[in-house]
Amino acid sequence: MQLVRGLHNLRPQHRGCVATIGNFDGVHRGHQAILERLRERALELGVPSCVVIFEPQPREFFAPETAPARLARLRDKLQLLADAGVDRVLCLAFNQRLCKLSAAEFVDTILVDGLGVQHLEVGDDFRFGCDRVGDFDFLQQAGVMQKFTVEAAQTVELDGVRISSTKVRDALASADFGLAERLLGRPFQIAGRVLHGQKLARQLGTPTANIQLKRRRVPLTGVYLVSVEIDGKTWPGVANIGVRPTVAGDGSAHLEVHLLDYAGDLYGRRLTVAFHHKLRDEQRFASLEALKTAINADVAAARAYWLGQPLKKSLK
Ligand SMILES: Cc1cc2nc3c(=O)[nH]c(=O)nc-3n(C[C@H](O)[C@H](O)[C@H](O)COP(=O)(O)O)c2cc1C
Ligand SMILES: Nc1ncnc2c1ncn2[C@@H]1O[C@H](COP(=O)(O)OP(=O)(O)OP(=O)(O)O)[C@@H](O)[C@H]1O
């Protein structure tokens, strides 16, 4: 899959494609259906498929304080789009200039002049352009004039409710990982590289791998039963995701995982953590001793859970 960053990096050979536009946060089953349709159209027309995304996402640009945490960071989104068979991603900087484009300018500059789009696939609720004036009808009319076709993707629902990134976030916030998995079409996961921590965990008796979140905000906090994939092998574990109030960190979120029965150095390795069950909220304990007691109880609960579970369900 090819990544084109910014309109200015589009070349004449990029013209001619089928395209869709959106945030695609989490690449849930609604998105997957659009991408499937896009792939079919690309094959029919013999042109590449292109997904247009924005960085930052529009809500993060307009209201950085209240924009929801992302389900997946850009790198993981790109991987998911590649896995869905997308040929090209055009990643546009969402800035003052872009948000001021009228719907007609958006179509002319990006879709027609930039991409030479032959077919567009969008959700029926899709809106774009300054003040979100552009909609499906507008696109269809523009398509008649500018010689491209537009199709409204059928809404994908689960139990009568439209699947959306928002619904996945709600499921994670209420720790309903079964629902999150049904919305996403895969378990909710966070991937990252293992960093050196404050080395307190060993003193607490429970070694943990600290996964780099950088400045990433996360859509869930607390203590969870997890399974962790390392180089294709899966290990049961217990994880804390949060700001670690007891040891007064820097206020940024950390993901720390203790793997049951794993002995070995994980520094620098890339882990993928899948979430299965919430044990409790993160707490501020009065002492390290009290934190240690709580973590021991978490580990015992994890051990009991994984022993009682048919491991093959979640573990390879
Ligand atoms: C299962 C588990 C549960 C945890 N629960 C909490 C908690 O409730 N409150 C808290 O402040 N820190 C919690 N922590 C984080 C510890 O504070 C952290 O692991 C410890 O500070 C070690 O940090 P280090 O790896 O950077 O040395 C938890 C960690 C684990 C592995
Ligand atoms: N359940 C769905 N069924 C069909 N199309 C969908 C579905 N969800 C999103 N789409 C379409 O996928 C494209 C990208 O959607 P986008 O990520 O911007 O919104 P979303 O998933 O509804 O997220 P949010 O909850 O943040 O609004 C848009 O064309 C949108 O209409």
**Whether residue 237 has its Cβ less than 6 Å from ligand 1:** no
**How many angstroms is it from 189 CA to the middle of ligand 2?**
20
| pLDDT surpassing 60 at residue 166 | yes
Q: 3-state DSSP call for residue 149? A: strand
| pLDDT surpassing 80 at residue 148 | yes
| pLDDT surpassing 70 at residue 316 | no
Q: Which residue puts its alpha carbon closest to atom 10 of ligand 2?
A: 123
Q: What is the mean pLDDT of residues 150-155?
A: 94
Query: Token digits for 88?
Result: 């090209």
Tell me, what DSSP letter sits at residue 69? Answer: P
* Rounded Cα–Cα distance for residues 312 and 292 (Å): 30
The reply to whether CATH 2.40.30.30 applies to domain 187-313 is yes
| pLDDT for 311 | 52
**Portions of the chain given CATH number 3.40.50.620:** 2-162
**How many angstroms is it from 101 CA to the middle of ligand 2?**
21
ipTM greater than 0.90, yes or no?
A: no
* Rounded Cα–Cα distance for residues 180 and 178 (Å): 5
Q: What is the mean pLDDT of residues 101-121?
A: 96
Percent of the chain, pLDDT > 70? 98
Q: Which residue puts its alpha carbon closest to atom 7 of ligand 2?
A: 30
Please give the CATH topology (third level) of the domain spanning 2-162.
Answer: Rossmann fold (3.40.50)
pLDDT level of residue 183 (50, 70, 90 thresholds): very high
| pLDDT for 196 | 82
pLDDT level of residue 215 (50, 70, 90 thresholds): confident
| pLDDT for 312 | 45
**Whether residue 149 has its Cβ less than 6 Å from ligand 1:** no
Q: Which residue puts its alpha carbon closest to atom 29 of ligand 1?
A: 240
**Portions of the chain given CATH number 2.40.30.30:** 187-313
Model-wide pTM > 0.90: yes
Q: Which ligand is nearest to the CA of 20?
A: 2
Q: How far is CA 244 from the centre of its chain?
A: 23
185 contact partners, CB below 8 Å, separation of at least 6: 28, 29, 32
**212 or 103: whose pLDDT is higher?**
103
235: amino acid identity, one letter: W
Q: Which residue puts its alpha carbon closest to atom 22 of ligand 2?
A: 164
Q: What is the mean pLDDT of residues 187-216?
A: 85
Helix (H) or strand (E) holding 150: strand 149-153
For 1, 61, 187, the CA distances from 172, given in Å and listed in that order, are 30, 24, 11
Could you tell me if 299 and 206 are in contact, meaning their C-beta atoms sit under 8 angstroms apart?
A: yes
| pLDDT surpassing 70 at residue 50 | yes
* Rounded Cα–Cα distance for residues 152 and 53 (Å): 18
Residue of 198, 224, 246 with the most ligand 1 atoms within 8 Å of its CB, for mutation? 246
**How many angstroms is it from 24 CA to the middle of ligand 2?**
7
Q: List, in sequence order, the alpha helices (H) in 165-281.
A: 165-173, 177-184, 200-203
Q: What residues are in contact with ligand 2 under a 6 Å CB criterion?
A: 22-25, 30-31, 33-34, 122-123, 125-126, 153, 155-156, 162-166
Which of 192, 259, 191 has the alpha carbon at shortest distance from 226? 259
Q: 3-state DSSP call for residue 255? A: strand
